[in-house]
Amino acid sequence: MADEAAVVTALAARGWAAQAGAPFRLASAPAVRISLGALREGDMPRLARDLAQALAPAPGRAVF
């Protein structure tokens, strides 16, 4: 992912708690941490959809 903070913010806006991976990594690529311990089985499709939307590139403008 290009921007951990943007993904964490997008997930928070959809009601999910996530944390940027920066404090936990030594040499890996950017990531987010999502705890699934309290997740109910029925919540998984919504989490998957919301995560996919949070990871999707934001529509941009052409700059000339």
Domain membership of residue 17 as a residue range: 4-53
Give me the phi and psi of 18, to 5 degrees please.
Answer: -140, 165
Residue 63 lies in a domain: no
In a domain, residue 60? The reply is: no
Q: Is 13 contained in some domain? A: yes
pLDDT score at 24: 79
Q: How much is the pLDDT for 62?
A: 55
pLDDT score, position 61: 59
Q: At what angle do helices 4-13 and 44-55 cross, to 10 degrees?
A: 140
- Per-residue confidence (pLDDT) for residue 29, from 0 to 100: 85
- The helices-and-strands tally (H runs, E runs) of the chain is 2, 2
Q: Does 20 reside within a domain?
A: yes
| Structural domain count of the chain | 1
CA dist list (Å): 44 to 21, 49, 64 = 21, 9, 42
All residue ranges of the chain with pLDDT < 50 are: none
